[in-house]
Structure 1
Amino acid sequence: MNTMENLEKQLVCPICLEMFTKPVVILPCQHNLCRKCANDIFQASNPYLSTRSSTLTSGGRFKCPSCRHEVVLDRHGVYGLQRNLLVENIIDMFKQESSSSKPAPARKEETPMCDVHQEEKINIYCVTHGVPTCSMCKVFGDHKDCQVEPLSSIYQTKKTELSDGIAMMVGHNDRMQGIISQLEETCRAIEENGRRQKTLVCEKFDQLYTILEEKKRDMSQKVTAEQEEKLNYIRGLSRKYGDHLEESCKIVEMGIQTLEEPEMASFLQNTKPLLKKITEASSTAHLDKVERGYENMDHYNVNFKREGKALRSIDFIADDEDEDDEEEDGDEGTEDGEGTHLGSEGSAGTAASLAACSTSQQINSTPSTEKSSAST
């Protein structure tokens, strides 16, 4: 019994939720449908291709209700789909086995009773109020002046309307699923574009960092060069003064020794050349003198207020501004070989140009005081 029940579940159409009715068509995704149910889905998904009464269409498509796989039909529509004879044979065998294994139980149809006349069955349909009722209500009750129809005719009409509505909702759900898929694809595109643009922005900022590092190195080298020049000059001058001092000390020692000479003739002989040496040693005219403020290096003054303001104003630019900047900076970019114009940032090109070109204007790089000017 369990095996038969499981088999019966496998033979249920996913649209009408009943056992497949012949003919059974097989979709490209290997799922099965009743041909009538497949045609209802096709008509709901393609309402403008053909009328419901036509047997041939101009082609179209719909999605499998089981796996959402898109089924493309030719001009024959659902009648161009192959029949699944295997499933039809299994259904026949299942019905024969079910009928032979146990007698079909007599299904007792439970007809609902009227709420007003509880002993009367509901057997007619009030078209005016749109509710089922009993014959007594039509003759004596609230529906005596209403238009009524047999339940069977209204049942078929309403069942067709409900089937059509379900098919339309299936098509509507397919369209909603398509919109959701497009939105998900848009989200993925936005994430990818965001990652790419952030990478480009980081690359452009790295170029700015490189320019600033180069300028810092060049400026530091200028200060270091003058520093070494001045230090070498002062150290050399210090050695000259030291040599002069050492010579003066030797002359003083010689003078002291001459003062101790008791012999007047020897004293007078040594005094004349000694006095000449004292006179020459007392003069420092041949030695350079350092000007006041020679050690000062304040002339290497920097002021990056304008560049800092330009860097703080960096932002993304519009397309029209991008075209204007390309026209203005085209010649400078080819001459310098350093294209600092960014495709996605605001005044980064201007900031880089200021940092690279106007630094020499911000630095008062006065040449170091020459030795000739120092020795006056």
Structure 2
Amino acid sequence: MNAMENLEKQLICPICLEMFTKPVVILPCQHNLCRKCANDVFTASNPYLPTRGGSLASGGRFRCPSCRHEVVLDRHGVYGLQRNLLVENIIDMFKQETSSSSSSTPATERKEESPMCDVHEEEKINIYCMTHGVPTCSMCKVFGAHKDCEVAPISSIYQTKKSELSDGIAMMVGNNDRMQGIVSQLEEACRAIEENGRRQKTLVCEKFDLLYSVLEGKKREMSQKVTVEQEEKLNYIRGLNKKYGDHLEESCKMVEQGIQTMEEPEMALFLQNTKPLLKKLTDACSTAHLDKVERGYENMDHFSVEFTKEGRALKSLDFLQDDEDEDEDEEEGEGEEAGGAVTTPLQQQSAST
């Protein structure tokens, strides 16, 4: 019996938490999923891909819910994954064995231990109080604290709460996939900011080198501004990345806790642990407290300079002639105008702020 129970645990899908349903697909990481569950995870991770017949048919990617390994699909989508015929055959043999065992089981089966009521120590907990949301015993309903409460059979509430927990776990798995995608985007944004910062600083240095030592101070100033904004953006993205990473890690722990709770065979204990866990799952699914990066936040193209006009003015400079006092004055005035015209978009932006 223990061997069959251990085998059944190995045949449980990590998404629907039920025994695998045909066809069973095998992922590149060697983990298995029901094809329908794989398609559901794929749909949640790729909401904008075109669909065919209600399911995704084109290539895409998603992460294995068991090990977080990234699964890259070809143009056939989920239908391109290989079926695990060995697991399907094991499921068929398991079902045949369990059906034959159940038919030959004696009528006096072993009864599982059930928790007893704290108030009526000789009474088993066999009903569920809908008013207070706790399992209790029949004596509490007749004579005790729950005599005026609405109650229901514990088996029906067990199935309802188990379905709610299963849905919550599936929602959390999908939410974790989305957060993993956000974390990947944030990491890519960090790389883009670093690359854009390096490129813009190089361009700024090249522009300023044309003006030699006259503009060396300005070059250092603008390069410093690029560096400051780069660090500010990187610090913000890294901080946001850490928040999403911490939220993802906490969500994964809740998923593991939920899966462990799903394995609780005793209905009353399961119901005692489910209510706070469902609330935690609901709270953890919310990412409203996490900031979102605005589109183009990593762009640093506004650090651009253009010195074509100033370059022409500098090239037109020449030695002053002693016999051309008036021309000298005019050239000095033109030189001052040319020097005052060296403005950049960064200066304009600084003046406006």
TM score, norm. by length of structure 2: 0.49
Q: Give the structure with higher Rg (CA).
A: 1
